[in-house]
Amino acid sequence: MYILSLYDNHEYYLTENVVVMPISKDTLFSKETRFIYNKFKSMLNSKNNFDFILFFMKYMTKYMGKQILNKISSLQLDVIQAEQELAGSILANNKDLFSIPIFYDIHGIWQEELVANNKIKYNSNKYKNIIQLEEFIINSMTSVFVVSEEMKTYVTNNYLINNKNIYVIPNAAFSRISDRSFEKFASKVCYAGSVTYREDMNLLLKSYQYIGSNRQNTQFYLSNKGDALKDVKSYANKLNLKLDYFWFENFDEFYPFLSKCHVGTIPALKHRWRQMATPAKLYDYLSVGVPVISVDIGSSWCDIIKKNDVGLLTSNDPIEFGDAVIYLLDNPDLIYKFGNNAIKLVKTKLNYKNSAENLIKIYKKL
């Protein structure tokens, strides 16, 4: 079975049955179209030029679909799968050009992400316009994949759709290390996600301040990327926090760095988007055996932490969050236990091989 996956720059899995072939914008489009595409991507999560973004989705994607067809006409494809709205719009606007099943993969609900980032208002015209776009894409597809039961419920209850083929394919990870070694002294606390307004960065920084005042020699690492980074750095300075900022473009550098950390943090805010969308950083932590401290927002991804003994859940109180971090740092036996539980969980359940097998069953069924 040969699958074309559009606009997914993540790593890809290979099995005996599936080959996923990413085709990037650089090989897919002409020079002129690449320029428009790059401009579009730069504005995608911006408050500005919102009308142009929707115009692009509705009309420019028709032209792109024809270019895709020309590029892939020699390939003997069985399935085309699109990730998120841009790729979904291309397939939806050109569905009559493709004689094979087309699938839509939703990792996050766009309008809810923009609300969580304070870029649009709930139930505003922009919010409703995105819903109409999503409805059009979903109704054009053979089937739709979502990452959680919460997201499936949201799509089913909030969109006017006639497509009943909606399947939950949870996020997955690659196991990056074979096991976590025991360390007598633990000190490294990390936040590995993008620094955004949709996460409770104030809680994280206040908890770091509390930890630092109660436990000397603790090292705090924070990713050096995200739209809230400037504000977070300013607030960290006001709190007199000493943070080590990092960012790696290359996975070969990122995961070895992450594996040396002792606690991975998730300062989740309780809003619709986060309750439906599993944090990518959770799977990053699990893949290298880093125990997790997260705010419990009652989502199914929180159950992964709780039910599999890979970390601790807290309220959104900075002191409680900080105490949980200190508890782990002061108990290296627990870091060793949680870390190896995480590695085992990825190896046995939350891995791409299992996801691929589930996808194959659905592809063959449809």
> Which CATH number is 188-348's, of 3.30.930.10, 3.40.50.300, 3.90.1150.10, 3.40.50.2000?
3.40.50.2000
CA quadruple 34, 125, 196, 305: dihedral, nearest 10: -110
Query: For 212, phi and psi rounded to 5 degrees?
Result: -60, -35
Looking at residue 219, its amino acid is: Q
**Model confidence over 221-230: pLDDT tens digits?**
999 999 999 9
Identify the helix (H) or strand (E) that includes residue 5: strand 2-6
Copy the structure tokens of residue 128: 């409703």
pLDDT mean over 104-115: 92
pLDDT higher at 90 or 311: 311
Angle in degrees, CA 92, 126, 85, rounded to 5: 25
Q: Which of 248, 292, 303, 294 is nearest to 269 (CA)?
A: 294
Per 3-state DSSP, what percentage of the chain is helix, strand, and coil (rounded to 5)?
Answer: 50, 15, 35
**For residue 205, what is the enclosing H or E element?**
helix 201-214
Q: What separation in angstroms does the CA of 200 have from each of 214, 244, 273?
A: 22, 19, 13
Angle between helices 300-307 and 280-287 (to 10 degrees): 20
Q: Give the per-residue pLDDT at 78.
A: 83
Q: In this prediction, what percent of the chain has a pLDDT beyond 70? A: 83
Is there a contact between 198 and 354 (Cβ–Cβ < 8 Å)?
no
- Using the predicted structure, report yes or no on whether residue 13 has a pLDDT greater than 50: no
Rounded to two decimals, what is the model's pTM?
0.88
Reported as a pLDDT band with limits 50, 70 and 90, residue 7 is: low
Using CA atoms, how far residue 18 sits from 11, 14, 28, 364, in Å, is 14, 6, 22, 12
Give the phi and the psi of residue 12 in degrees, each rounded to 5: -120, 150
Q: Tell the CATH topology of 2-172+351-365.
A: Rossmann fold (3.40.50)
Q: Is it true that 2-172+351-365 and 188-348 share their CATH fold?
A: yes
Inter-helix orientation angle 84-92/61-72, to 10°: 80
What per-residue confidence (pLDDT) applies to 5? 67
What is the spatial order of strands in the sheet that 263-266 belongs to?
244-246, 219-223, 188-191, 263-266, 292-295, 311-314
Is residue 14 very low, low, confident or very high in pLDDT (cuts 50, 70, 90)?
very low
Mean pLDDT on 118-139: 91
Q: Give the C-alpha separation, 43 to 33, whole Å.
A: 16
Tell me: pLDDT of 353 over 90. Answer: no
Residue spans of the domains in the chain: they are 2-172+351-365, 188-348
The average confidence (pLDDT) of the chain is 86
